Amino acid sequence: GCATVLVTGGAGYIGAHACKLLKEAGHRPVVFDNFRTGWREAVRFGPLTEGDLLDPAAVRSAFDRFRPDAVMHFAALSDVGESMERPELYWRNNVVGSMNLLDAMTATGVGRLVFSSTCATYGEARGELTESHPQNPINAYGRSKLAVERMIGDYAALGIETVSFRYFNVAGADPAAEIGEHHEPETHLVPLLLDAIAGDRPEIVINGDDYETPDGTCIRDYLHVTDLAGAHVLGLRHLLDGGGSLTLNLGTGRGFSVREVIEAAERTTGRTAPVRVGPRRPGDTPRLVCSGAAAHAALGWRPVRSTMTEMIADAWAWRATGRFNA
Ligand code: UDP
């Protein structure tokens, strides 16, 4: 049946898309967000309970008030560069915040969790990643998320079943352009590129073109945000049906270089991007691709909107709406 789902980070980019799909699937998403990186305009699909995961009383009162059947946990700091300069923020927010969430779940008897993890928990990788790849994260962000994965694993003894998803790059927007991507400051390739194409930024800087890849620029696996959010709804369904804990990668298995993303954006928008080649960005690896095969086998998930053209077109259409008019 239908579930009340507490969605931490439900005012953020991915969380808001999950809320929309939860509502469309007949569930009731309750957003829990501190609005550090989320947007009030993105809370449109269910009630809001404003609070911080670092405040155990606020977390507990959200559970007492809304009596959720399950939790989707997106709330986290996720900027890799910032995590190396301010590791304490990442360890506290991501690890202590998740612990407060798990404690509220066990205290109130909520035993189903869908956790938004990351392929950054793997660290250096060559070739297509599978779930059994060793986890040796190379930055504080990845290490904090791996710590949460381990903690969640141990809380299984307290009755918490979890579907964890690991994924790389997310792009695109709600096809109806009701919600989309908006970060301040923006660091991600697709929104920066579309800004440059629209003339809102002087140029897009390619972070190095001397990598060991066919065109010298880094290759990444990009997933449409609605495909990603859809996987989370399927993970919830799996838990509600008693399927038990799973850890799954989400990807297309298809990589795009930075130059290929730029070309796709130029083709899709019909405009030219002002491009400059800059230095490498510390921490970038040449090629990161992961397969969705295990997620397909376990949940029947497959990406249906993750062509580069659709991701660019949806992000471009969302951009034209004025992005929460910010
Ligand atoms: N990138 C780039 N110029 C930019 C932003 C990103 O060349 O202005 C590159 C970045 O180095 C990486 C890819 O685009 O190879 C995707 O970067 P993004 O920050 O979007 O996601 P990440 O892969 O870091 O999670």
pLDDT greater than 90 at residue 257 = yes
Gap from CA of 220 to ligand 1 centroid (Å): 8
Whether residue 169 has its Cβ less than 6 Å from ligand 1: yes
The whole-chain average pLDDT of the chain stands at: 96
Percent of the chain with pLDDT over 70: 99
Q: Which atom of ligand 1 is nearest to the CA of 258?
A: 14
DSSP 8-state code for residue 132: T
User: What is this model's ipTM?
Assistant: 0.98
With a 6 Å cutoff on the Cβ, whether 277 touches ligand 1 is no
pLDDT tens digits for 227-241? 999 999 999 999 999
Q: Helix, strand, or coil here: 173? A: coil
% of residues, the chain, pLDDT over 90: 93
CA dist 20 and 229 (Å) reads 9
Q: Is the pLDDT of residue 325 over 80?
A: no
Q: Is the pLDDT of residue 27 over 60?
A: yes
Query: Is the predicted pLDDT of residue 326 greater than 60, yes or no?
Result: no
Phi, psi dihedrals of residue 48, rounded to the nearest 5°: -115, 135
pLDDT for 87 equals 97
Average pLDDT over residues 24-35: 98
Ligand 1 atom closest to Cα of residue 169: 25
Query: pLDDT by residue (tens digit) across 185-231?
Result: 999 999 999 999 999 999 999 999 999 999 999 999 999 999 999 99
The tokens for 270 are 């019909």
- Positions marked catalytic: 141
CATH of domain 4-171+222-250: 3.40.50.720
Say if ligand 1 is within 6 A of residue 192 CB: yes
For ligand 1, whether the C-beta of 201 sits within 6 Å is no
The answer on pLDDT for 165 being more than 70 is yes
* CATH code given to domain 189-220+253-320: 3.90.25.10
Q: Do domains 4-171+222-250 and 189-220+253-320 have the same CATH topology?
A: no
Containing 206, the helix (H) or strand (E) segment is strand 204-207
Q: Determine the angle formed by the axes of helices 97-108 and 56-66, rounding to 10 degrees.
A: 40
278 pLDDT higher than 70: yes
What residue owns the CA closest to ligand 1's atom 4? 189
Q: Which atom of ligand 1 is nearest to the CA of 120?
A: 25
Among protein residues, the one with the nearest Cα to ligand 1's atom 22 is 169
- Where are the domains positioned within the chain? 4-171+222-250, 189-220+253-320
User: What are the helix (H) ranges across the chain?
Assistant: 13-24, 56-66, 80-85, 87-90, 97-108, 140-155, 189-198, 225-240, 258-269, 293-299, 308-320
